[in-house]
């Protein structure tokens, strides 16, 4: 399974990674010298002073001093699990990716996370949850780096630093640790109204899941699949938990956060240990790949929009089963590095401007977080496909590359050709259309509706769920110090639903301001005649 390189001792680097540090019978230094005593420093006389000469003391303390690596800039708190994905064979007409083939099994590693809290924060915070899946396919690693909500706060990656600055704790007092109850968050989402749709999902019960095992997952962006004959379709990925989607109430979340801040990670680990393996079906909504890249007025490149599942049903492609806990949190859950740019033949990206920025960001941040460019050599990140790249040297390089000509083609190292022939399944970027136009910093008109889907979501909820939404806005906005921010957000609630605005205003003891705009005319449950047809798979 290891890359096509060897370690200095001639062993394949894919060999048991524990053997690197835990071989032999006796305690040793990092250099392998056996130790007689690891509890007493070397002193001049029994009562000291301690000698600088004590190499074991210095090695032990110095290594400890450097045990921590930076936490992720977002999604710092997470829990991981290993598992397997089994294809149903239903994707054959729309994607050539080998992992979808019937009964094909592919190992996966999944990391669930909260977004905003630090590594030590509590699990039941009201927040979006990360749902990142690494598929170790024979054809390279595919990362589907999604969330438990189908839309995102912003439409363009250039705003990502801003939304994260606004949502993370205030820079002066570092509060609140892990909730959206503060001025900068509400200032941002009320000024950038594209965030209103994602925000109402956060204020709903979806913001406090019962368990990682009972969360849906979404790829959010529209992706492009490429079939063996070169034809393409556009898809949105969905994970459907076999246990169904469940949440807790706010009161339960508050008590759980106090009594057991590790509740979600404990639940996941305990279930797997007990053999109750959680399962999700991976499915897709499929759309024609044409120049417009729209579905009935919904811009498929806008990550703040869904396409209702009644209109385009989710069609299953395979089943994921999580069946093993990590044996070392740091080596697996902490060092795993996901990247939406990790694609395999048959799966490609679209021009969604949020996705385009993500394609740069992950690799870039991981160079800092994991100390240089060679983290694909860490055991959890190693592809399960043969690797033969021309990347060389760098910090923490652990491969000893052979040859003298790290470029292709060359006439020195056997003259291997650069190109992979078509019948050996190379990755090919789909020849997708691009819209001719002017180079400019601007947004498409089809991205400008910020309220109708927030209303659609609210109207799709039951009365009890709507009540929870109103209570959540009241609680969270109640923690804002700035009255003008509350007023601005209340006006937006009026554009989503007038009763919602009135209820939250009453809870805050405020007047109901004029709505930002009249609520849109949307129908939450389409008539049966409108129910969409499945794509012919
Ligand atoms: C981390 C999802 C947008 C930058 C993550 C993680 C998830 C995720 C699940 C945690 C991965 C893990 O468990 O290790 C998403 C989704 C997005 C989105 C679903 C929108 C649809 C963005 C954007 C950017 C970004 C627009 C930057 C332009 C990052 C960074 C990390 C991260 C820097 C930390 C990665 C690391 O340290 O390994 N994201 N994200 N994300 N995301 Fe995103």
Atom of ligand 1 nearest to the CA of 365: 33
Give the distance (Å) from ligand 1 centre to CA of residue 362: 7
> Residue 303: CB within 6 Å of ligand 1?
yes
Q: What is the ipTM of this complex?
A: 0.97
> Residue 160: CB within 6 Å of ligand 1?
yes
> Residue 111: CB within 6 Å of ligand 1?
yes
Report the alpha-carbon distance of residue 295 to residue 309 in Å, rounded.
12
Give the distance (Å) from ligand 1 centre to CA of residue 115: 9
**Marked catalytic residue, from 31, 56, 66, 147:** 147
Contact between 203 and 473 under an 8 Å Cβ cutoff? The reply is yes
Whole-Å CA distances, 205 to 181, 252, 281, 355, 403:
16, 12, 22, 26, 57
Tell me if residue 328 is catalytic. no
- This prediction's pTM: 0.95
Give the CA-trace dihedral at 448, 454, 460, 463, to 10 degrees.
Answer: -160
Per-residue pLDDT of the chain (537 residues; tens, 9 = 90+): 333 344 444 333 445 666 778 889 999 999 999 999 999 999 999 999 999 999 999 999 999 999 999 999 999 999 999 999 999 999 999 999 999 999 999 999 999 999 999 999 999 999 999 999 999 999 999 999 999 999 999 999 999 999 999 999 999 988 887 777 789 999 999 999 999 999 999 999 999 999 999 999 999 999 999 999 999 999 999 999 999 999 999 999 999 999 999 999 999 999 999 999 999 999 999 999 999 999 999 999 999 999 999 999 999 999 999 999 999 999 999 999 999 999 999 999 999 999 999 999 999 999 999 999 999 999 999 999 999 999 999 999 999 999 999 998 888 988 777 788 988 999 999 988 787 789 999 999 999 999 999 999 999 999 999 999 999 999 999 999 999 999 999 999 999 999 999 999 999 999 999 999 999 999 776 665 667 889 999
Which of 316, 133, 101 has the alpha carbon at shortest distance from 212?
A: 133
Alpha helix stretches (DSSP H) within 330-378: 353-369
Pocket probe for ligand 1: among 216, 355, 362, the residue whose CB has the most ligand atoms within 8 Å is 362
Tell me if residue 75 is catalytic. yes
> Residue 361: CB within 6 Å of ligand 1?
yes
> Residue 236: CB within 6 Å of ligand 1?
no
**Marked catalytic residue, from 40, 55, 75, 246:** 75
């Amino acid at each position: 399974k290891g890359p096509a390189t060897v370690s200095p001792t001639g062993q394949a680097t894919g060999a048991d990674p524990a053997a690197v540090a835990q071989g032999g019978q006796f305690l040793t230094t990092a250099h392998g010298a056996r130790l007689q005593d690891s509890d007493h420093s070397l002193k001049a006389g029994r009562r000291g002073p301690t000698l600088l000469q004590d190499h074991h003391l210095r090695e032990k303390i110095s290594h400890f001093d450097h045990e921590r690596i930076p936490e992720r800039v977002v999604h710092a708190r997470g829990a991981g699990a290993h598992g397997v994905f089994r294809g149903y064979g239903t994707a054959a007409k729309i994607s050539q990716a080998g992992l979808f083939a019937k009964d094909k099994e592919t190992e996966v590693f999944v990391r669930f996370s909260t977004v905003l809290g630090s590594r030590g924060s509590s699990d039941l915070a009201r927040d979006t949850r990360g749902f990142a899946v690494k598929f170790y396919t024979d054809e390279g690693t595919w990362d589907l780096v999604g969330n438990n909500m189908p839309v995102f706060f912003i439409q363009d990656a250039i705003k990502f630093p801003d939304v994260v600055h606004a949502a993370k704790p205030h820079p002066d007092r570092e509060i609140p640790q892990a909730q959206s109850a503060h001025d900068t968050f509400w200032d941002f989402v009320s000024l950038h109204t594209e965030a209103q749709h994602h925000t109402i999902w956060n204020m709903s019960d979806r913001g406090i899941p019962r368990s990682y095992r009972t969360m849906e997952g979404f790829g959010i962006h529209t992706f492009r699949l490429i079939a063996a004959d070169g034809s393409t379709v556009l898809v949105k990925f969905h994970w459907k938990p076999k246990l169904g989607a469940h949440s807790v109430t706010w009161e339960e979340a508050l008590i759980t956060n106090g009594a057991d801040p590790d509740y979600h990670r404990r639940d996941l680990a305990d279930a797997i240990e007990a053999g109750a393996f959680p399962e999700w079906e991976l499915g897709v909504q499929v759309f024609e790949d044409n120049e417009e890249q729209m579905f009935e007025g919904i811009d498929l490149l806008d990550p703040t929009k869904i396409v209702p599942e009644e209109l385009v049903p989710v069609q299953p492609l395979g089943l994921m089963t999580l069946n093993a806990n990590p044996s070392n949190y740091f080596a697996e859950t902490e060092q795993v590095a996901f990247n939406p740019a990790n694609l395999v033949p048959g799966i490609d990206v679209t021009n969604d401007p949020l996705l385009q920025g993500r394609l740069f960001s992950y690799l870039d941040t991981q160079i800092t977080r994991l100390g240089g460019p060679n983290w694909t050599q860490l055991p959890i990140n190693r592809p399960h496909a043969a690797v033969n790249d021309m990347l060389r040297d760098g910090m923490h390089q652990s491969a000893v590359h052979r040859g003298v000509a790290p470029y292709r083609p060359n006439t020195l190292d056997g003259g291997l050709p650069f190109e992979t022939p078509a019948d050996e399944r190379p990755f090919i970027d789909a020849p997708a259309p691009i819209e001719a136009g002017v180079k400019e910093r601007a947004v498409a008109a089809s991205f400008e509706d910020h309220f109708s889907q927030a209303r659609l979501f609210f109207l799709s909820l039951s009365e009890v769920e709507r009540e929870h939404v109103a209570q959540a806005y009241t609680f969270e906005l109640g923690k804002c110090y700035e009255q003008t921010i509350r007023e601005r957000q209340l006006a937006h609630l009026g554009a989503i639903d007038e009763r919602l605005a009135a209820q939250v205003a009453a809870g805050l003891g405020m007047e109901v301001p004029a709505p930002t705009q009249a609520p849109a005319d949307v129908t939450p449950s389409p008539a049966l005649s409108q129910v969409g047809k499945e794509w012919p798979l």
